[in-house]
Structure 1
Amino acid sequence: MGVEEEFHVVDLGSRVLVARAHEVLERLPERGFISEFLQSVVESNSGVHVSLDALHGDLRRSRQVLSEAAAGLGLAILAAGTAPLARVGAVDATPHPRYLHMADEYRVVADEQLICGVQFHVDVPDRDTAVRAMSVLSPWLPTLLALSANSPFWLGRDTGYASWRTLLWQRWPTSGPAGCFDSAADYDAAVAGLVRCGVISDAGMVYYDVRPSANRRTLELRVCDACPRVETVVMLAGLFRALVVDACAEVQGTDRCRHTRPQVLRAMTWRAARSGLGGDLVDPITGRAVPARVAVGALLARLRPTLEEFGDWELVSAGVRESLARGDVADRLRRIAAGGGLTSVVDFLVAQTHARPTTGAPVSVRGRR
């Protein structure tokens, strides 16, 4: 498994999102860090890991070196679905032909893409299995979104949502639930049709909540907000791996996907984005509203055999219990804002994002040759 984390770049003085990712990248190692669509985001790519402990150490080291590079420029990195203080129009697209075309084609949707997510990759047996497994996974993904939701603030105001990033992200024409595909050929034909009709320019613009990777033998989860705490990222990685393993086992030997009405999946996602852990979620089995802790508990119980098989049970179950004990992150951020304003929220998120070095080979900050 592997993880891609996106980080906002904010000014340490004003706490406002700034278009200076390229300056941070120039101070980073050439491998493991890349630019993103907008010039306010830096992406970190982990190595490939089998154990959650190894993934945890990798992510901490990456955050450390990224934080040091930003601090040397009077900047900070911030892992959250949205940066609380930002201005539309103050951040341009990264000057790459593909990104510039997207900015011109999608206009306001692209201009307001001031969001960050975390993506998870899990190895799969083959693409046919992966594509059929997506429909088994999909009803459980809103619960993972709720566990990650931390973006209530947008352009300096409270949206009332736990994950406003999700609502912004769903405006793209190929975002949301993946749908039902019986084979990799079926999925590829659908993507080719989207490119052919001009809605998207390439297969990389398929932004479904879960999708087969274009260049790896993995399933990729894309539904989660970028998470301030490394521990949350690792917990989600463990849950997603167990979901993928179980779903792949379930569809082995079949040639059909499991159909769930897309409007139901979209509604489940909206509910998770609205409430996070602070309200109800939709139970994937009954289709009824249940308290978030009940939905999370049901997911954890369902995955326990596979989590135990991988040796992940103790770490993941402890992470879930801690997340439920901490409560809804969006509500916590609102309480911080009530006491100290949005600059205090930014300071809190920066502090949560920053990680101290762990054991292992240090990663040096340097200028790019």
Structure 2
Amino acid sequence: MTVGVEEEFLLVRQDGRLARFGPEVVGAAEEPDGELQEEITRSQVELATPVCASGDQLLAQLKQLRSELAAKAAARGLRVLPSGTPLLAETESAGITPRARYERIAAFFGAIANAATNCGAHVHVSIPDRATGIEISNRLRPWLPVLLALTANSPYVDGVDSGYSSWRYVRWALWPSAGPPPMFESLAHYEDSVAAMLRAGAMVDRGMVYWDIRPSDTQPTLEFRIGDVAVTAEQSALLGIGVAGLVARAMDDIERGRPASPLRQEVLRAFLWRAARDGLAGWCPSPLTGELMPGRDVPGLLAEKLRPVLRGPDLDLARFVLRKLAVEGCGAQRQRAAYARNNRLTDVVDELVWRPA
């Protein structure tokens, strides 16, 4: 089973405020094996790894691409910030990247487009076909709060503490096509739903299917869009191999005829709200029982879920990063700890920025 990861980052000046040079930084990049890309706002940049067959390969690609991106930003006196939301108060908008599609989205959706200045991590896992992808999505819906709690990395926004661990996820839910995927009866059911949303104008095109899990239209992959961008490349690699492991477990359930959990959409939305609020610092709904469990126990739960399907270095990497998360907490806890030292958000920026190798 192969995997690839896309990471979105904020581009900031030395003082930590947004810089509107994303297209220029990406345009100056000499791409190695993966890709460096523009995003919808001028204050964001994105990397996309090539297809990887192991956690070690994925981690190496993430480190290489992050360093490439940071070096290109540094050449312009800028920094790359792995945070789900902008930390500091801004006096100007992030600016829309001058491409027809992005400008159309911004014009049509109005103030909701402000939610685009958020940075997530997207994982693509290979699947046999799109119909199987829908069955996998149905079975992994209950695990979305776990993945969100593990990756929560956006407590601050516009100069204040939001009170959430992943404010990115809460703000992203403003898009009418965002949030957890419904339980779909079939691929035809999925396509009917997408067609109806397009007719309603809730999306300008199929690229705006923003559900937390979606089958790709162009590649034989299932995309998971649940996570905040990770502080470290190791955490991002964990998300990649963790999602691949969950897909492998779901494939096994399909082969054995085990049905998907009939988790209702309104309940799953509530579970995701709680995971976005607490991260690993409080409580998270269990994908097994629906009851609240301590956030500190979430890494161990995922490790146990992955143990039958991960082998060798992949299992070692997953265990190592999950143990660190259990002890140190998620990115939101790291951000708040950095702020608590001097009560300065600029210290949080300094703590997070990715530096060239």
Query: Structure 1 length as normaliser, TM-score?
Result: 0.91
Cα distance change on mapping 1:123 and 1:264 into 2, 3 Å: same
Contact residue 8 and residue 42 of structure 1 kept, 8 A: yes
Match of 2:325 in 1: 323
CA-CA distance at 1:252 after TM superposition: 3.9
In the aligned structure 2, how far is the partner of 1:20 from the partner of 1:133? 39
In the aligned structure 1, how far is the partner of 2:4 from the partner of 2:139? 21
Unaligned runs of 5+ in 2: none
- 1:147 and 2:147 aligned: no
Unaligned runs of 5+ in 1: 357-369
Contact residue 167 and residue 276 of structure 2 kept, 8 A: yes
Contact residue 297 and residue 326 of structure 2 kept, 8 A: no
Candidates 331, 335, 341, aligned match of 1:333: 335
In the aligned structure 1, how far is the partner of 2:90 from the partner of 2:58? 34
- 1:120 and 2:123 aligned: yes
Match of 2:29 in 1: 28
Match of 2:187 in 1: 184
Cα distance change on mapping 1:237 and 1:245 into 2, 3 Å: same
CA-CA distance at 1:195 after TM superposition: 0.6
- 1:296 and 2:305 aligned: no
Question: Any idea what the Cα deviations from partners look like across 1:227-272, whole Å, max 9, x if unmatched?
Answer: 1100000111111001011112322486986531011111111111
In the aligned structure 1, how far is the partner of 2:90 from the partner of 2:101? 23
In the aligned structure 2, how far is the partner of 1:93 from the partner of 1:346? 23
Candidates 66, 72, 76, aligned match of 2:75: 72
Task: Report the 3-state secondary structure (helix = DSSP H, G, I; strand = E; otherwise coil) of the residue aligned with 2:230.
Answer: coil
CA-CA distance at 1:307 after TM superposition: 1.4
Question: Any idea what the Cα deviations from partners look like across 1:266-314, whole Å, max 9, x if unmatched?
Answer: 1111111100110110112211111012233222212210113x75211
Contact residue 11 and residue 75 of structure 1 kept, 8 A: yes
Question: Any idea what the Cα deviations from partners look like across 1:139-163, whole Å, max 9, x if unmatched?
Answer: 1111111111111100011111111
Contact residue 151 and residue 330 of structure 2 kept, 8 A: no
Candidates 212, 216, 239, aligned match of 1:236: 239
Cα distance change on mapping 1:255 and 1:337 into 2, 3 Å: closer
- Matching residue's letter, 2:24: E
CA-CA distance at 1:354 after TM superposition: 2.7
Task: Report the 3-state secondary structure (helix = DSSP H, G, I; strand = E; otherwise coil) of the residue aligned with 1:193.
Answer: helix
**CA RMSD in angstroms, aligned pairs only:** 1.8
Candidates 345, 349, 352, aligned match of 1:349: 352
Query: Structure 2 length as normaliser, TM-score?
Result: 0.94
Contact residue 177 and residue 265 of structure 1 kept, 8 A: yes
In the aligned structure 2, how far is the partner of 1:238 from the partner of 1:355? 25
- Matching residue's letter, 1:82: T
In the aligned structure 1, how far is the partner of 2:84 from the partner of 2:122? 12
In the aligned structure 2, how far is the partner of 1:44 from the partner of 1:328? 22
Question: Any idea what the Cα deviations from partners look like across 1:140-190, whole Å, max 9, x if unmatched?
Answer: 111111111111100011111111101111111011110111322221121
CA-CA distance at 1:222 after TM superposition: 0.4
Cα distance change on mapping 1:190 and 1:258 into 2, 3 Å: farther
Identity %: 39
Candidates 38, 51, 55, aligned match of 2:54: 51
Task: Report the 3-state secondary structure (helix = DSSP H, G, I; strand = E; otherwise coil) of the residue aligned with 1:94.
Answer: coil
